[in-house]
Amino acid sequence: MDVLALTDGELAEIINADRYDAELRAQADALRREHYGIDVYIRGLIEFTNVCKNDCLYCGIRRGNASAERYRLESEDILGCCETGYRLGFRTFVLQGGEDPHYTDEIVCSLVSEIKRRFSDCAVTLSIGEKERDSYAAYKAAGADRYLLRHETASDEHYKRLHPKEMSLSHRKQCLFDLKELGYQVGSGFMVGSPYQTAENLVEDIRFLQQLKPDMIGVGPFIPHSETPFAYFAGGGLELTLRMLSILRCFFPNALIPATTALGTIHPRGREMGLQSGANVVMPNLSPVSKRKLYSLYDNKICTGEEAAECLKCLAGRVESVGYKIVVSRGDVKK
Ligand code: 5AD
Ligand code: FES
């Protein structure tokens, strides 16, 4: 089957087909092996603030969640997480947080440049939301290599149902194109099975990504969080998420695609199956264990009690159990 030649309607049909498609998965795995062999890249995720000025309806750290206990890490703590990570073999650090005005451009820039100074063979990825183009330019000048900003859904109508009035899909897209122009390796993506999502929406997501041509694509199941307006919606399915990973690998043969923590949360072997379906990246947590549970975007998140070293060991075993291998590398995109 030539996935690239399918019409929107045919793609929607495949997305809707309620089964784990072995042929599609084999195709995706063959493509990932062609470009990346059996290598799995690791990214050290540092969730440095759960303060957020946004109010996305799906997210547990939305400002409207008054029961979330908020925290911020100091720059020295963040550098400490990098130090631990570096010793464990991480060569990419992902600084992720809510949209927290406390971290001014100046703070972000000095943090990025200090990480690059101390760990010059590492890549720094930022995942701190929508900013002005000038801010993105400043972070880039300070040494940031990559930026993650999921578009969440490429349908305007669907976007409005997931976000408060003051947010817009057009602004989010603008940010993504700005980041590309500024020379970042850019990651986008979306949740699978978010409330009101249709197969047609998922086709639109693929079409938008074809326009954007991202280097990284983050896709994981929606998981309800009890303290959000979406608490009683169903979560995204395992098979649908795996099918989307495979389809994305076919469309983007050289993309960096993580088997997400969310996927590992909805099934004990979710990340392993993600790797077998086309994913080639995992993003273990380097945040201090004392803060892990507080960065709660969705309920029942895994790996909140383990030290980074334990998590990595566990993950290495999981990766090997399905025939792949974690490598010590920046893991840049292969063009
Ligand atoms: N379930 C799954 N993923 C979520 N995210 C936010 N809230 C949830 C949820 N309830 C994802 C969003 C965001 C990324 C950091 O986490 O896609 O971009
Ligand atoms: Fe974190 Fe297994 S990967 S405990």
DSSP, residue by residue, 67-87: TPPP-B--HHHHHHHHHHHHH
Task: Scan for tokens 């309620």, then name that residue.
Answer: 18
Tens of pLDDT, residue by residue over 150-165, are 999 999 999 999 999 9
Query: What's the 11 CA to ligand 2 centre distance in angstroms?
Result: 34
Three-state SS string over 250-310 comes to HHCCCCECECCHHHHHHCCCHHHHHHHCCCCEECCECCCHHHHCCCCCCCCCCCCCCCHHH
CA of 112 to the centre of ligand 2 (A): 27
Per-residue pLDDT at 54:
98
Q: Establish if 334 belongs to a structural domain.
A: no
The answer to the question of residue 34 being in a domain is yes
Q: Tell me the pLDDT tens digit for each residue of 93-147.
A: 999 999 999 999 999 999 999 999 999 999 999 999 999 999 999 999 999 999 9
DSSP code of residue 147: E
What is the CATH classification number for the domain harbouring 277?
3.20.20.70
Nearest to 61 by CA among 71, 51, 75: 51
pLDDT at 335: 85
**CA dist., res. 92 & res. 187, Å (int):** 14
Determine the structural domain holding residue 294 and report its residue range: 3-327
The 325-327 sheet, strands edge to edge: 281-282, 39-42, 325-327
Structural domain contains residue 335? no
Structure tokens at 107: 């703070």
Ligand closest to 270 (CA) is 2
Report which residue type is found at 39.
D
Both tokens assigned to 232: 């009683």
Task: Confirm whether 9 is domain-assigned.
Answer: yes
Is the pLDDT at 282 greater than 90? The verdict is: yes
Residue 108 lies in a domain: yes
Centre a 10 Å sphere on the Cβ of residue 299 and count the other Cβ atoms it contains: 15
What residue owns the CA closest to ligand 1's atom 18? 150
Mean predicted confidence (pLDDT) in 238-246: 97
| Residue 67 banded pLDDT, cuts 50, 70, 90 | very high
Phi-psi region of 13 (alpha: psi -120 to 50; beta: other; left: phi over 0): alpha
pLDDT at 20 over 90: no
Residue 42 above 90 pLDDT?
yes
Pocket test for ligand 2, best of 40, 287, 311, 321 (most atoms within 8 A of CB): 311
Average pLDDT over the chain reads 97
pLDDT band for position 41 (cuts 50, 70, 90): very high
How many structural domains does the chain have? 1
62 in a domain, yes or no? Answer: yes
- φ, ψ of residue 258 in degrees (nearest 5): -80, 145
Tell me whether strands 281-282 and 216-221 are parallel, antiparallel or unpaired.
Answer: unpaired
Tell me the pLDDT band of 21, cut-offs 50, 70 and 90: confident
pLDDT at residue 160, as a whole number: 98
pLDDT, mean of residues 46-74: 98
Render pLDDT for 310-326 as a digit per residue (tens, 0 to 9). 999 999 999 999 999 99
Interior angle at CA 66, CA 81 and CA 189, nearest 5 = 55
Distance 118 CA to ligand 1 centre (A): 31
Q: Is residue 332 part of a domain?
A: no
Taking the centre of ligand 2 as the mean of its atom positions, its distance from the CA of residue 309, in whole angstroms, is: 9
Give the per-residue pLDDT at 264: 98
Mean pLDDT score, 11-22: 87
Quick one: CA dihedral 191, 33, 322, 91, positive or negative? negative
Q: What is the distance in A from the centroid of ligand 2 to the CA of 282? A: 11
| Whether residue 311 has its Cβ less than 6 Å from ligand 2 | yes
- The confidence score (pLDDT) of residue 87 equals 98
Task: List pLDDT tens digits, range 90-105.
Answer: 999 999 999 999 999 9
- Residues with beta carbon inside 6 Å of ligand 1? 58-59, 150, 152, 191, 220, 222-223, 225, 262, 297-298
The answer to the question of residue 56 being in a domain is yes
Q: Which atom of ligand 2 is nearest to the CA of 285?
A: 1
